[in-house]
Structure 1
């Protein structure tokens, strides 16, 4: 299929407008309003509000058939942008450094195409999801009572990929992105004089033990079938008072694995290590969890549709050998529904995701839209 260049220019301008006015996870109110205004101009059959700031547009086919959901993300990051182009972020300390502005633009282009030519059967659901970056968004959408209105049969999403040739589509059966979660342990010891540490309970020692013994449960090689990674993120211990032995400490760790089952094992192992250290040093510990992401488990049949779409559109296709180590909360969708996430290359010289100089490359909007549209046709027009 060919996409009119006037549409590509319109969507590019829209992407840059979104880039100028970013909002962090859970606060995407103005972004959501802009998206809703755009979608209403395309006359969908229904717009459903989900997860506070999220929304979905539904376009119905002429006949009964499956419901196909395509998802993009609304949120930006708390990162100061150092770029100086005309569409740079106008909000200090907030910017689209993961390309979600581009993902929203791709979905807007897809909405335009669907509005001009409704599918033969079924429903197209275009979901703009909030709060992907902190792992809360997908759950807030799925647990919203309004989600029953759009219960899908198949789900698809993409992510742009710096380091890959521009426009190249990257696919993989099975795990596409890792399961990830963060553990916070709070150690409640007892302060004492630094000259008499035996009269206190210093959390430094159990924290050090947990960090040391955690090395025994990790498998850092991403090609290994039992890959399990632990990354120390933050330690808070005592005060800068050199006469005081610390009485309180926190340890923040992030876990990653390539399956939800391995993540469960890793979680249990680390809880056991932490509780063992707590008992050994007689220091109570509270454990909590944050930013939980399920692994994206791609269904082979869905990935085949991505492959065929890219092939039919003449787009270069890359078969990935290993999953990505970053988390993506679309994994909650692929846990519940058959579907796939795939990647679209952002350029081999593109700055990495979450870097302050990253900017979504507008040139990859067109191949991304073609890939989505080809998937849609396979489900609803053949």
Structure 2
């Protein structure tokens, strides 16, 4: 029987093929086809396609009853032009795998090859290839899909590669692993007037200035505080480039980050009320729209302990982080619905950062991801 090291070369080739052919959120049709054809070599006991869009579920069943454990990776790439010149660079001019989802898919495919050769002793292992993580819509579409609802996993796990951390280091965190993140669009409607007679109109400029200043006061950048929050102004628009006209409408967009879903709920209400107060003060009509919402990954203590124990058995270098990552990851929805946890896999201290045009997933960490996922599944079904 071929072992993981022998299969590693083909996994790396597959990862590079995925890297070369990236697709945007919700449009991962060819990526999904590539995953399905990969599974022809390692047939699962059950397979579903088109889950929540382009998503795929593959299930490897154990001989005995036991827990169902889900491992998830992401299918989508980003609208970023790649600046690397290596052979597997993106063939698409403005799309590339700058978050390492190509590597995450390769890890899950590696786990599939392990499970094919060595079926779980007990329980089921469910592999989920999820669409549209980058825009925060994929987890929700999968969770609401009837084909997914039948599976009812006992535990859910995901990893994310982490540039800036030692290669193959496992980064764990009790409680919140990554922040709740969502974006707020505020549209203000006033009344156009001649620029010589602004008093005859209602110009939203001062309201926008006030919103920016008031929102800025809500920043709490100390990550050790439970009310940690970052409010980032993203985009502002006001009026038209017509110098004889006093603006009659404008909009301002923010991205907001909090440590917990509860804190996000509390702050969101505050910001809505604040916007209403300011709009009323300046006699403006207003509309608020929330978009690109990511739940915080709130790690379940048991699930997190399985990660730590499995890492220890494999002799991996584990780092326990004190504060959450401030980026969002839509796996947070799964940790709301099921007992689960997310962990980090070090991608190298000198690796370019995620979402940078010259980033590339390091192939040397694939086998660590595969082994750790596999060990977690064994731990859980040995524990029960």
Flag whether TM exceeds 0.5 (same fold): yes
Matches within 5 A, 1:35-54: 35-49=35-49, 50-54=51-55
* 1:14-43 Cα distance to aligned partner (Å, 9 max, x none): 000000000000000000111111123311
* Pairing 1:324–2:325 present: yes
What secondary structure, in the 3-state scheme, does the structure 1 residue paired with 2:98 have? coil
Please report the TM-score for the alignment, with normalisation by the length of structure 2: 0.97
Alignment pair present for 1:22 and 2:22: yes
Does the aligned pair in 1 maintain the 2:73–2:128 contact within 8 Å? yes
Q: Tell me how large the CA RMSD over aligned residues is.
A: 1.1
Cα offset for 1:380?
A: 2.7
1:3 Cα deviation (Å)? 5.0
- Residues 4 and 114, structure 2, Cα contact 8 Å, conserved in 1: no
1:287 aligns with 288
1:326 is paired with a residue of what secondary structure?
coil
What is aligned with 2:247? 246
Q: Which residue of 2 aligns with 1:277?
A: 278
Which whole-Å deviations, capped at 9, do the CAs of 1:264-300 have from their partners, x for residues lacking one? 1110110011000111111101111100011101111
Partner of 1:194: 195
Provide the residue aligned with 1:362 in structure 2.
Answer: 363
Counterpart residue number, 2:74: 73
Secondary structure of 1:170's partner? strand
* Greater CA drift, 180-189 or 236-245: 236-245
Which structure 1 segments of 5+ residues have no match?
Answer: none
Higher mean alpha-carbon deviation, 213-222 vs 357-366, is at: 213-222
Question: For structure 1, which segment, 336-345 or 222-231, has the greater mean C-alpha deviation from structure 2 after superposition?
Answer: 222-231
1:339, distance to aligned residue in structure 2 (A): 1.1
CA distance, structure 2, for counterparts of residue 302 and residue 204 of structure 1? 49
Structure 2 gap segments, 5+ residues each: none
Alpha carbons of 1:285 and 1:128: their partners in 2 closer, same or farther (altered >3 Å)?
same
Q: Kindly report which structure 2 residues correspond to 1:139-218, keeping only aligned pairs within 5 A, or say none.
A: 139-218=140-219
The equivalent residue for 1:33 is: 33
Paired with 2:132 and 2:20, the residues of 1 have a C-alpha distance of: 18
Look up the SS of the partner of 1:341 in the other structure: strand
Q: What CA deviation, in whole Å up to 9, does each residue of 1:38-83 have, x standing for no partner?
A: 1233111111231010011011100111110000000000000000
> 8 Å contact 1:3–1:366 — kept in the other structure?
no
SS at 1:325's partner residue?
coil
**Count of residue pairs the alignment pairs up:** 381
Distance 2:145 2:237 in 1: 36
Match of 2:135? 134
Q: Give the alignment's TM-score, normalised by structure 1.
A: 0.98
* Partner-residue secondary structure (3-state), 1:249: strand
Task: Report if aligned partners of 1:187, 1:250 keep a CA contact under 8 Å in 2.
Answer: yes
Residue aligning to 1:7: 7
Secondary structure of the corresponding residue to residue 59 of structure 1: strand
User: Structure 1 CA distance, aligned partners of 2:381 and 2:164?
Assistant: 33
Task: Give the SS at the match of 1:185.
Answer: strand
